[in-house]
């Protein structure tokens, strides 16, 4: 298994690549989750309502869009919680000895983001899908390849073949 990868011109260790991949997966999942929650919020709490009034001069109905003000915002709605375990007040006996200790309330978010699990197998699948793209970024430009091929023929060397073989070894074709 390859432990070093070149990504966007930087050499990265597999563990760093996995960390970056995980960060990207989580960020994309969080963005999608927030978009879904925003759609849910907007459906529950529309921004405008239609107010119908009667025009005094024409005595016709007039519809007017009115902005609705809610007690909470999207951010406060996201942070709403529910009580899982209620608080317990401290109880003391006649000798002032605590018989039931105080216990604070336990709550949980109603709309909690669940961080997706990212595994090395997922990274391997991602890299396998992108192997040709990764190879393409690593190969010399076509101008450089033509120049190398010319000089290889002139000098009896095979530098171009060595470079291409190194790239193919670095990003092997998935089986």
Boundaries of every domain in the chain? 4-129
- pLDDT value at residue 149: 96
- pLDDT value at residue 40: 95
110 φ, ψ (degrees, to nearest 5): -75, -35
- pLDDT value at residue 9: 62
Tokens representing 32?
């999608």
N-term to C-term CA, the chain: 13
- pLDDT value at residue 127: 75
**Residue stretches of the chain with pLDDT short of 50:** none
Whole-number Å distance between alpha carbons of 147 and 35: 50
- pLDDT value at residue 88: 95
- pLDDT value at residue 161: 95
- pLDDT value at residue 8: 60
Q: Model's pTM, two decimal places?
A: 0.59
- pLDDT value at residue 58: 77
- pLDDT value at residue 132: 81
């Amino acid at each position: 298994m390859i432990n070093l990868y070149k990504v966007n011109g930087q050499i990265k260790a597999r563990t760093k690549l996995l960390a970056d991949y995980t960060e990207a997966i989580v960020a994309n999942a969080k963005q999608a989750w927030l978009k879904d929650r925003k759609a849910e919020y907007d459906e529950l709490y529309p921004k405008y309502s239609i107010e119908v009034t009667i025009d005094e001069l024409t005595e016709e109905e007039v519809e007017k869009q009115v902005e609705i003000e809610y007690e909470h915002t999207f951010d406060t709605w996201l942070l709403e919680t529910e009580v899982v375990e209620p608080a317990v007040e401290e109880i003391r006996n006649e000798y002032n000895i605590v018989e039931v200790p105080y216990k604070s309330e336990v709550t949980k978010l109603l709309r909690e983001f669940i961080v997706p699990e990212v595994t090395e197998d997922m990274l391997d699948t991602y890299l396998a899908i992108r192997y040709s793209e990764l190879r393409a970024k690593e190969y010399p430009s076509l101008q450089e390849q033509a120049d190398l091929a010319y000089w290889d023929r002139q000098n009896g060397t095979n530098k171009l073949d060595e470079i291409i073989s190194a790239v193919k070894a670095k990003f092997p074709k998935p089986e």
